[in-house]
């Protein structure tokens, strides 16, 4: 896997700007550290297949419209975004 924590050009929701693990991700990070990357890739592939079978897609229209090349999956990441109750309270008030 890519080391997002120590890559200043990328943003990873798990890690704060000072490269410390955000509290909301503590339990998830413990699980992720021992999870096999191949299993995560397999689960991502399975989810994408189910999305396609269920029609969770959108079409892209443009000058080169070819039927099968325009259908795209809704963007999905097997790694969840975890929002703490405090953050959610702030977000939900607008």
Instruction: Name the pTM for this structure.
Output: 0.66
83 domain-assigned = yes
13 domain-assigned = no
Give the confidence band of 33 by pLDDT, cuts at 50, 70, 90. very high
Q: Give the number of domains in the chain.
A: 1
7 domain-assigned = no
pLDDT of residue 2: 55
26 phi/psi in degrees, rounded to 5: -60, -55
Give the confidence band of 38 by pLDDT, cuts at 50, 70, 90. very high
Residue 83 near residue 91, CB atoms below 8 Å = yes
């Amino acid at each position: 896997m890519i080391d997002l924590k120590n890559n200043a050009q990328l943003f990873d929701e798990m890690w704060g700007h000072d490269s410390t693990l955000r509290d909301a991700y503590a339990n998830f990070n413990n699980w992720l550290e021992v999870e096999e990357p191949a299993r995560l890739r397999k689960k991502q592939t399975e989810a994408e297949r189910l999305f396609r079978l269920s029609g969770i897609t959108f079409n892209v229209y443009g000058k080169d419209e070819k039927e099968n090349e325009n259908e795209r999956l809704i963007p999905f990441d097997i790694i969840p975004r975890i929002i703490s109750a405090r953050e959610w309270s702030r977000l939900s008030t607008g």
